[in-house]
Homo-oligomer: A and B are copies of this chain.
């Protein structure tokens, strides 16, 4: 796994003609062939010959990208992780898939997602130990990058579906500020919460992907424009370690990992603080559940009416909860989201980023439960950018890491500190 090229590296070699796109694609396909029987990251993969024929100039020339199977692609069945869509091929690419192709990139295949990017798990296994979940809902995307099949995969996060699988698989996961990455053509879980994001092998690669694939026009009400990011040299980042009301859910190894990360960052020059938040912020976790269930109820209305027998109980329960919710509760959740998106700014006046556990600990054993997203939920609710970084391994040999969270729309500061942190963690 360690030998696989990163995204930036592969692009540079191809642009410099030191690597032939066809050779590179051959390597990626060979790697997939080697691991897929156990990994099961893909619902469908392009044929090597097809990929080689599509190669065309552009900054992503010859780069295979794995695409979460809720993101529409006109040349692959897009199942949304549901039997309802098992034979569904969209007429059009999602905006972000279109961008990938227009930049010379190739859709390598579609990756396994939980059903409609909600709870009901798919078949993908953790690349580090196939008895463990890779996390979800972006299971296949995280696994495909972690296994060294592709240098970039697209995922989505509505609670913790990028940060958590990135952490479980020991790679970088980046969810930019809410609205900064195009969503049109991705099957929604909840319009107020859905973020499209990136799995890569380094912070630099995540930034490279973001810069190429971010929103460059306002094509929906929730879209925002974030200018191209630059990783800036930082010598003494100010980092706040977050204490949460549910820290008792953390494994001792996860607690230790955050401590190790803090020590390494401190040794490298960072100032480390502790941060607790008022209860009003933690109310955001319940409010996230409200937005998700209410919006999912509308999104799945026709599925419930027409194909109820093809839905898992997880989706039915989610929609039922939403359908039972009065509008006033929903509106208060929306109002809280607006309020916190603004008010969180004050916690970034004296710190550059917040550091927190990305999950309760290592990837849980078994494939049915993709893990608890609660350590990500607040930041998804608020829409602040977050990035998962691997730090070390558990006694079971599974990855453990941390997440860094930046202020809303301050992605540049976040990725700059993340690059600093990545250096610390790698050097050790």
Query: How many copies of this protein are present in the complex?
Result: 2
Whether A277 is near chain B, meaning CB under 8 Å from some CB there, is no
Q: Report the separation of the CA atoms of residues A179 and B335 in the bound assembly, to the nearest whole angstrom.
A: 17
Per-residue 0/1 for A290-307: is the Cβ within 8 Å of any B Cβ (1 yes, 0 no)?
A: 000011011001000000
Q: B residues within 8 A CB of A328? A: 294, 297-298, 301, 322-323
- Cβ-based interface call for A329 (8 A): yes
Q: Check A325 for interface membership: any CB of B closer than 8 A.
A: yes
Interface presence of A248 (CB below 8 A) = no
Of B301, B322, B335, B338, the residue contacting A327 (CB under 8 A) is: B322
Contact of A325 among B221, B323, B327 (CB under 8 A): B327
Query: Is A245's beta carbon under 8 Å from chain B?
Result: no
Q: Is A397 an interface residue (CB 8 A)?
A: no
Contact yes or no, B221 A338, CB < 8 A: yes
Q: Tell which of A220, A323, A328, A338 has the most Cβ of chain B within 10 Å.
A: A328
Cβ 8 A contact of A298, one of B298, B324, B325, B331: B331
Q: Which of A96-140 contact B (CB under 8 A)?
A: none
Report if A278 contacts B (CB, 8 A).
Answer: no
CA distance A324 to B328 in the complex (A): 9
Q: Is A330 an interface residue (CB 8 A)?
A: yes
**In the assembled complex, which residues on chain B have CB atoms less than 8 Å from the CB atom of A338?**
220-221
Which partner residue on chain B sits nearest A290 by CB separation?
B327
Cβ-based interface call for A86 (8 A): no
- Cα-based distance from A220 to B325 in the complex (angstroms): 26
Closest to A220 in B: B338
A221-B341, A323-B327 given; 6 more Cβ-contact pairs under 8 Å = A220-B338, A294-B327, A294-B328, A322-B328, A323-B326, A324-B326
Chain A residues in the interface with B (C-beta under 8 A): 220-221, 294-295, 297-298, 301, 322-332, 335, 338, 341
**Top 4 A-B residue pairs of the complex, sorted by shortest distance between their CB atoms:** A327-B330, A294-B327, A325-B327, A298-B331
